[in-house]
Amino acid sequence: MSITTAPIHGVVAAVATPVDAARRPEHATLIEHCRWLLANGCDGLNILGTTGGFASFSVAQRCGVMEALAHSNLPLGTMMVGTGTSALADTVELTRAATGLGFSGALMIPPFYYKNVSEDGVFAYYASLIEQVSPSGLRLYLYNFPALSGVAFTLPLVERLLAEFPNVVAGLKDSSGDAAYVAALHEAFPRLDVFPSSEAVLASARRNGYAGCISATVNVTAPLAGHVWNASGADALTSQTELAAMRTAIASVPLIPAVHALIAELHRDGIWSNLMPPLHALTAQERFALHGRLDATSYGKMLQLQR
């Protein structure tokens, strides 16, 4: 199946992946959460990204998640899948699976084991991948997260990839938190869909012409994030302030465990409290601090608006 869907723009959740007591991805629970996100403010979903635990799952487990979603009747055109690994052959297999099943795109972190690699090496990795997957069926989103990958997508590297593969490289998610870098990318490559990684800048992202955001905390802030993306004027700015306060509160404790804890409360389903080691659930002290900070925001009021 080739990709025929429009590119994803707007509010995109970096979807968390629930696991059962044996630490296996729990497909039915994931599907229901994805359904909730799309009904409550999200324009798109990033499956198996950092928040989704991609690096903690085997290739077979990641393919299993993709296949379950492909048979869920959810719109695959709203989903990009994290397919990056350190092993080229594994990345090829996962990316072929994503494109073959009909997902809208592949979000790909660069190979992240070797450090201080050359840009020629990174370029060769992507060039080999694209050649093996088949460019006609691939929409590729670069994933800039140098704190974890050790590899930064410099402007010259992005320019080189766009020049060589203009019909394949569609966008970039930036998790560096560097606003100047994002602005420079957008100015240099206006056709590239650029996604900051926080909904705290969503109103300004739309005003600046960015494609949207791909965020971990949108797993629970989706109703307000969707409103901010579609609002305008003073309403957008006021709601943006509230949204930024929620993001700050959630990020004040370990982020991925906090997201899992809040999803568990949102859906009243304790399975979300399970995490893949080496991550672990919030401590009682961390949960107390998280709720104290969220209580000072409009988080509770926002959740009353969910469908």
Residue 84 included in any domain = yes
**CA geometry: angle 53, 59, 64, nearest 5 deg:** 80
Residue 210 included in any domain = yes
Question: Of 37 and 4, which is predicted with more confidence?
Answer: 37
Q: What is the CATH number of the domain that holds 37?
A: 3.20.20.70
Mean of the per-residue pLDDT values for the chain? 94
Residues of the chain with pLDDT > 70, as a percent, come to: 98
Q: Which residues contact 17 (CB under 8 A, 6 or more apart)?
A: 25, 30, 47, 48, 52, 53, 57, 65
Q: Is the pLDDT of residue 1 over 70?
A: no
Q: Is the pLDDT of residue 54 over 50?
A: yes
Total number of residues shown for the chain: 307
Residue 213: predicted pLDDT:
96
Q: Is the pLDDT of residue 99 over 60?
A: yes
Residue 98: predicted pLDDT:
96
Residue 306 included in any domain = no
Residue 169 included in any domain = yes
Q: Is the pLDDT of residue 97 over 90?
A: yes
User: Whole-angstrom Cα distance, residue 289 to residue 20?
Assistant: 26
**Residue (of 142, 182, 179) closest to 160 by Cα position:** 142
> Model-level pTM?
0.94
Task: Give the end-to-end CA distance of the chain in Å, rounded to a whole number.
Answer: 33
Q: Which residues contact 95 (CB under 8 A, 6 or more apart)?
A: 83, 106, 108, 129, 133, 138
Q: Label residue 307 by pLDDT band (50, 70, 90).
A: low
Q: Is the pLDDT of residue 248 over 60?
A: yes
Residue 239 included in any domain = no
Q: Is the pLDDT of residue 286 over 80?
A: yes
Say if CB 25 and CB 56 are below 8 A apart.
no
Residue 166 included in any domain = yes
Domain range enclosing 77: 10-222
Q: Label residue 285 by pLDDT band (50, 70, 90).
A: very high
Residue 305: predicted pLDDT:
72
Residue 274 included in any domain = no
Q: How many domains does the chain have?
A: 1
How does pLDDT run across 14-30, given as a tens digit for each residue? 999 999 999 999 999 99
How does pLDDT run across 125-142, given as a tens digit for each residue? 999 999 999 867 789 999
**Residue (of 261, 248, 263, 254) closest to 198 by Cα position:** 248
Residue 285 included in any domain = no
